[in-house]
Structure formats: C-alpha cells, structure tokens
Amino acid sequence: MDWQTQNTKVYNENAAELAAHFVGAGSRIADIERGLHLANKPTHAKVIEIGCGDGRDATEIVKRVAWYQGFDPSSGLLEIAKAKNPSAIFTLSDALSYEYPNNINVVYAFASLLHVDKDDMREVFKKVHKSLRKNGIFYISLKARDLYTAEIKNDQFGERMFFYYNPEIIKAIAGNKYLSIYEDYQVIGKTTWFTIALKKQ
C-alpha cells in the first residue's frame, strides 16, 4: 500500500472531525515561544511549520513572527487553516517535496513527521538544515518508543501508518550538522511523546 496516499486520504476525509477533535488541546504556545527563545528571539523571525494541519498552532505563531509559511499534504485541513488564519501563507505539500526557502530562524514540526520513515527523515533533515540560518532551530515532537518502530493504526478516523522514534535515534539521524539543545518527554493519554530542539551547526 502507498501509505503516504492513504494517510493523506484519511486526513482529507476527516478534516472537520480531526480539527474538532484537537480543539480542546489548543495551540502549543509554550513550545512556540521556546523555539523562538532558543533561536535567540530574532526580531524579524522567519518561520516554517511542517504539517500545519488545521492551523491551530499557526494562529499563535503568526502573532510572534514577521514571516510564516505552513504546509500540509491535506487540502482538507489546509482549507480549515486558511479560514482560521486568512493572513497567513499556506501551501499544499509534504515534508519531502516542499521547496524550503533560505534564512529561516525556526522550523516547527509538531506531531507532523509521524508518518515519515527513517530514510525519508534523513532527507527532511538535509532540506531543513539547508533552509535554516546558522544557529537556527529545528523543533520537533514525535511519538516515542525505545526502538524505531513502524505501526499501522486503525482508529475512528481510518487506517494510517505511524513511525516511532526517540531522541537518540533523531540525534543519530541529525548527525553532527545539528546540536540537541532541548529534550523533553510527555505522556498524553496512553501515548508517550518527546520534544527535541536541534540547533543548526
């Protein structure tokens, strides 16, 4: 099965339901501000959000930066994001095919690289590294497991493929082109998540 197509199909068919599902969670304000702080609080920050989804984090990011672009492979979720944030720039794309601009201060990837396998993750890291300014920040949250794992999940929204990582695996993928400057674990419901902030070297 082409899991990228399948995953996007699930998000398109359930866009409104998924957006409603995440309303209670709100925006990740603390993470947004931490990413900018770790990037030395740039005055005219330029920010990319990988997998912006329905735009719930874009709402807070755009208040704090001079330039923002969010992208997502789901046209259904992007329609909701555009309605919430009419002044923001959104693009239909995935993490591998997106044309990353230069001189970016922070690239956020909140729970959006969950469907990216290890080989493709290496390519994403290369593209982000080229896009970031020196000392720019790649700020990521992912589901955690002790070992790299691929798992098919079937829930009320449909069948999707997920990939699980941990900070050590991500640092190995990042190599010496990035330095880990923040790591944290969180348990939400029955799922363990981790956050990692990597500084471009």
Give the chain's count of helices (H) and strands (E).
7, 9
The DSSP bridge partners found for residue 108 are 49, 139
Computed over every residue of the chain, the mean pLDDT equals 94
Average pLDDT rounded to a whole number, residues 7-13: 86
- Sorting pLDDT into bands at 50, 70 and 90, what band is 72? very high
Which pLDDT does position 3 carry in this prediction? Answer: 84
The pLDDT tens digits for 151-164 are 999 988 889 999 99
Which pLDDT does position 7 carry in this prediction? Answer: 86
- 147: number of Cβ within 10 Å: 8
Q: Are strands 46-50 and 67-72 parallel, antiparallel or unpaired?
A: parallel
Which pLDDT does position 17 carry in this prediction? Answer: 82
pLDDT reading at 4 higher than 90: no
pLDDT reading at 10 higher than 90: no
Burial class of 25 by CB neighbour count within 10 A (0 to 12, 13 to 18, 19+): exposed
Average pLDDT rounded to a whole number, residues 44-60: 96
Which pLDDT does position 184 carry in this prediction? Answer: 98
The pLDDT tens digits for 100-112 are 999 999 999 999 9
R_g (Cα) of the chain, nearest Å: 16
- Sorting pLDDT into bands at 50, 70 and 90, what band is 85? very high
Q: Which residues of 102-131 are buried (b: 16+ CB within 10 A; e: fewer)?
A: eebbbbbbbbbbbbbeeebbeebbebbbeb
